[in-house]
Structure 1
């Protein structure tokens, strides 16, 4: 049997710097920016820019901690490995399964969104058809090679980048032109402070913005799940992580500023995409179809990331004996195919369950808030692992060429910030319900872990 037909025993480093950069960008730009920015602007006014900046800065430090840990030992394939190594088997178990569940929830939301966006062009089409077709297409492409996943993410992310850059250029061009809308509103930088100042809704509005804005950053840690399949990680991983602040400034801050300088913040409608509204004002007749296409590719990109990362988490969990051993088997293309099939099965199962629930909007708010709470748990575990690494492996930290700025002090600052966001989630009824539901997941995980340990003891 030749090397080509054998089943490999490890993941291949097939993702180039080009793929990694765009995967990191795709992870940092959620569908929430296109569809949810209207709601965040109406809640917080111009101060929403500060909200995105603060969240972005905090998550940059989490990514730097993750980067130093992954590069401290190239045998680490993802954050499951260093969580298990530095905090203990329980941490790897909780981190891996929680991250898997996070992405299943997020991917379910994306698949339902894809079905809704497809109905814009095909109103008579049954919603389950585009949902199933999307999952089958992504499954087929992910089963082929990891390079194909990287290629898909590259082009999906590129579409998002072009759309956002077009919005920024259009917005500031309208300001330079002195554009005035049919309703008499002039495009000017003064729109940022003319209507009640930068904090028009006070601290209450400013804090309310955090609840939704934090969801937009879900997936920023994706670059950590690609570590085992990245060519030259010591060069490419730091480049991808270091560019996060620039991306946040360009894609979030500049886009939100472009929207608010053209349309005064109090005229931005919470239920509409401000991207569509701005292009309509600029006289682009196909604006709604254009943005629908962008959001459709954005949701497909997110679902693609979800399918990729959940299969890699199952692979990592199986290697650490936290999941059935079959998930550690790789196909001839060096892809964890059984993990992909299982994740896609759960995804389709979840998607059908959402159709059973009569109030889809309520269900969606619940699952996306739950996902954000669980993502914050994973981000916190990364920080705890970093602090354990500094305590247990000081020599590795000293030798590191990619040290986290601020070290342990910044870990505590970030953990305090996540605690602050959790408190904010108690202020609204819908987010409070999701927060109260999150302990159920940890109780299930805890019971599973205890059962697994007892079975292991009996077997020995």
Structure 2
């Protein structure tokens, strides 16, 4: 029987100081503190909004009907609780490795290694997905440039942005996220006015809440459809944790993490629940247009907004570029943190004179370029395998955050209680309840025909990574 790994002290965690760093200066890890408060604020607000919200919500509505609101609320609740736990640890010890560094300390080197590489794998696959999605839209506008050419262009441009400085990443993300936020806020406002029949110039009769129950009831496909909806929407929430990685490159990490953690509730309520409510209130849930045109385009068309399709294409492209930009940043910072802990090539831990981990960025983007090529060359085989085997990583990350927080709370309380500026509510009861909820979703995916392949392949890859980690660290211990 193996013994529980001893807990390190909080100050032994890698990746820099917990306190403020002078703006533009470098932390002890060498990364530049180049992200301004407005960058962090917009990353926190926009980080939870992925292209999946715009593109994938129609399938969820078709599967669960108006009850998809309950699905989004359940997943949103899990995300709020997980972010609270992560915020507690990140405010006490900002780190470019975030939950991977905390797992390293709380659960053992094998855990930090495994979840770090799985998270990196998830984001480099996302690079290929988003680059392809963006290329499809751009090719529709300018067909003279082939689709693969557009994918190459957006990857090269955003790689250059990330290589220039962390401030360049922050500036791009500020505007990308800003467009998403303004677009969804406007959609919710216009949609709510139309729902109640008070939108000036609209011919839409105000249906109020009628569409929520008029077409087979609120649960037209039964209570089980809520869980089906959960499986379909859970992965569109991935990205909420990015701000805790980015906080390590800001002048005041504690303040950034505290603000992001405190605002996650209203962000999910407005951007997810608010916008999906508008769609299912404006249109019958079984309307073919929700799937054929996309839920947001269908809603805008029902109001009478001209050129709704092109408007949404611009917004989706912005969301795609934002996700691509953040995905490259996130993957590179995770690779950098793994390099600093000796779990990745040492070159990944080196930074340029501008405080940028160039080798980590290039290493991540090379795999991203390879995944783009797989997507064009073998979309139904190799790329589908990559997609499925990384699909459940979000759930694994959330589970690791829960277990890390369970162990680290006591350590931080004993050693540096003044750094507990963000506290998990009703600890440890809500933490254990969150663990139970995530484990239930994982189990349900294994028994659900649609989710079984994705979960099985993700578990297989996770087991392989954990096995490599255990063998690697056991060999290092013997040496």
**TM-score, normalization: structure 1?**
0.91
The answer as to 2:390 corresponding to 1:381 is no
Cα deviation per residue 1:372-415 (whole Å; 9 max; x = unaligned)?
A: 41121111111111111134444257542221112221111111
The answer as to 2:50 corresponding to 1:30 is yes
In the alignment, the residues of structure 1 paired with residue 92 and residue 27 of structure 2 have an alpha-carbon distance, to the nearest angstrom, of: 29
In the alignment, the residues of structure 2 paired with residue 423 and residue 453 of structure 1 have an alpha-carbon distance, to the nearest angstrom, of: 29
2:236 maps to which residue? 216
1:254 maps to which residue? 274
Cα deviation per residue 1:332-375 (whole Å; 9 max; x = unaligned)?
A: 11010001011110000011011122548x955x6555434112
* Structure 2: tracts of 5 or more residues without a match: 1-23
2:452 maps to which residue? 432
Deviation at 1:109, TM superposition (A): 1.1
Deviation at 1:203, TM superposition (A): 1.0
The within-5 A match list for 1:272-311 is 272-311=293-332
Mean alpha-carbon deviation: is it higher for 380-389 or for 121-130?
Answer: 121-130
1:316 maps to which residue? 337
Deviation at 1:185, TM superposition (A): 7.6
Deviation at 1:439, TM superposition (A): 3.0
2:260 maps to which residue? 240
2:4 maps to which residue? none
1:371 maps to which residue? 390
Mean alpha-carbon deviation: is it higher for 167-176 or for 330-339?
Answer: 167-176
Mean alpha-carbon deviation: is it higher for 236-245 or for 167-176?
Answer: 167-176
Equivalent pairs, count: 453
Cα distance 1:184–1:456, how it changes in 2: closer, same or farther (>3 A)?
closer
Cα distance 1:358–1:60, how it changes in 2: closer, same or farther (>3 A)?
closer
Retained in 2: the 8 A contact 1:111–1:299? yes
Cα distance 1:74–1:8, how it changes in 2: closer, same or farther (>3 A)?
closer
1:266 maps to which residue? 286
In the alignment, the residues of structure 2 paired with residue 177 and residue 72 of structure 1 have an alpha-carbon distance, to the nearest angstrom, of: 49
Corresponding residue SS for 1:330: coil
The ranges of structure 1 where at least 4 consecutive aligned residues each deviate by more than 6 angstroms after the TM superposition are 182-185
The within-5 A match list for 1:90-239 is 90-177=110-197, 187-239=207-259
Deviation at 1:232, TM superposition (A): 1.0
2:365 maps to which residue? 344
The answer as to 2:102 corresponding to 1:82 is yes
Cα distance 1:140–1:255, how it changes in 2: closer, same or farther (>3 A)?
same
Mean alpha-carbon deviation: is it higher for 389-398 or for 298-307?
Answer: 389-398
In the alignment, the residues of structure 2 paired with residue 368 and residue 76 of structure 1 have an alpha-carbon distance, to the nearest angstrom, of: 25
Mean alpha-carbon deviation: is it higher for 429-438 or for 373-382?
Answer: 429-438
Cα deviation per residue 1:97-136 (whole Å; 9 max; x = unaligned)?
A: 1110111122221111112222221335321101111110
Deviation at 1:88, TM superposition (A): 1.4
Deviation at 1:176, TM superposition (A): 3.4
In the alignment, the residues of structure 2 paired with residue 18 and residue 178 of structure 1 have an alpha-carbon distance, to the nearest angstrom, of: 34
Deviation at 1:38, TM superposition (A): 1.1
**TM-score, normalization: structure 2?**
0.88
Retained in 2: the 8 A contact 1:78–1:227? no
* Structure 1: tracts of 5 or more residues without a match: none
In the alignment, the residues of structure 1 paired with residue 106 and residue 275 of structure 2 have an alpha-carbon distance, to the nearest angstrom, of: 40
Deviation at 1:427, TM superposition (A): 4.4
2:10 maps to which residue? none
The answer as to 2:374 corresponding to 1:353 is yes
Deviation at 1:224, TM superposition (A): 1.7
